[in-house]
Amino acid sequence: MKNLIDRLSPLLKTKILHTQKLPGDASARSYYRIFTPDHTMVIMDRASPFSISTDPFISIQNYLKNHGVPVPEIYEVFPEYGFIALQDLGDQTLQTAYRNNPQYALQTLYPQVLDILEHIQSHCRISTGLYCPAFNIRFDRETYLYELHFFIEHFLKGYLRVDPGPQIQGALNTSFEWISSVLSEQPPVFTHRDYHSRNIMVVDRKVYIIDFQDSRLGPAQYDLASLLRDAYVVLPESFIEETLDRFLPSMETSLHSGRDSRETFLIMCIQRNLKALGTFGYQATVRSNPGYLQYMPVLIRHLAAVMKMMDLCELAGIRMLLDACADVAS
């Protein structure tokens, strides 16, 4: 930490009393809380220099802020050192708020989060006047397929050490091709990509959105699936249904996708949860990070719950997969 203080003190032009390393995400970024005589801030350490003009975090933060989305303020940027000084939003995520008081979270916080999502999808549609790289990247068939095969490589084979064999592998390939084709055909909207309870901070009963640097165009159901079928918070089924009853009709009206929006939501949940399992498996086996193992059973149970609502022959491979993963969900 002393090395960090020595590097930051002349940049911030203030005395640093001490620092606190903060929990990170599944990326290579590091975060530190900096205590000065006047206030605290959070330093994002990118570990290498970057360009302000092309940096996605800075560009998307500016775009979202200017479109009325609550995001952390950027105080200062030191691109040659790989540092960004951010507003300190504290330690309470939506995940911890729900764990501490589910009723309060459901009645006060989740409505805000859903209103913000609705605002993003209705107002962040055209990149006019402000550069926003999210409009230059889109979820496509190849991206979905890559993520699904990443799941096979790093969860099924890497973590479970299960060889699916030619029959299950063939069925999975068919299901993955169908899922990827369906989702890539959906009308695109601004998509956060990781809109879940760990990326939503709670400060004085108000929520803020973080970790938005990978935003891109994708189906309207993507962020909704991330939030409602969250690995870190298991929401009541009644709340999920009420939320879908609110959101899905407006999606059908505004997007004209030609496919039932509820079915698309369920398909999106399948893809999103498989993708997350692949990431968690990769973290455990390749990066020796066991912190995500406890959330794997939740994702398997999400998949099982969704599959009970889907009776499509195109998903036969997913049913075979759930049988192979049954022990993980217990």
Distance CA 93, CA 282 (A): 24
Q: Which helix (H) or strand (E) holds 209?
A: strand 206-209
CB 276 within 8 A of CB 194: no
pLDDT tens, residue by residue, 150-191: 999 999 999 999 888 898 899 999 999 999 999 999 999 999
Is the CATH number 1.10.1040.10 carried by domain 94-329?
no
Predicted local confidence at residue 242, as pLDDT: 95
Residue ranges, comma separated, of all CATH 3.90.1200.10 domains in the chain are 94-329
Q: Is the pLDDT of residue 327 over 80?
A: no
CB 284 within 8 A of CB 328: no
pLDDT (mean) for 279-291: 95
Lowest-confidence region among 14-18, 124-128, 254-258, 290-294: 254-258
Radius of gyration of the chain (CA): 21
pLDDT tens, residue by residue, 221-249: 999 999 999 999 999 999 999 999 988 88
Percent of the chain with pLDDT over 70: 94
Confidence of residue 256 (pLDDT cuts 50, 70, 90): low
pLDDT tens, residue by residue, 266-284: 999 999 999 999 999 999 9
pLDDT (mean) for 119-132: 83
Q: Is the pLDDT of residue 127 over 80?
A: no
DSSP conformation letters of 76-122: EEETTTTEEEE----S-BHHHHHHH-HHHIIIIIHHHHHHHHHHHHH
Predicted local confidence at residue 1, as pLDDT: 60
pTM listed for this prediction = 0.92
* Pairing mode of beta strands 188-191, 216-219: antiparallel
Please name the residues in contact with 302: beta carbons below 8 A apart, sequence gap of 6 or more: 229, 231, 269, 273
Predicted local confidence at residue 50, as pLDDT: 93
Q: Can you count the helices (H) and strands (E) in the chain?
A: 13, 9
pLDDT (mean) for 18-38: 84
Confidence of residue 141 (pLDDT cuts 50, 70, 90): very high
Confidence of residue 15 (pLDDT cuts 50, 70, 90): confident
The CATH number assigned to the domain with range 2-86 reads 3.30.200
> Would you call 158 helix, strand, or coil by DSSP?
coil
Distance CA 236, CA 58 (A): 36
Residue ranges, comma separated, of all CATH 3.30.200 domains in the chain are 2-86
Confidence of residue 5 (pLDDT cuts 50, 70, 90): confident
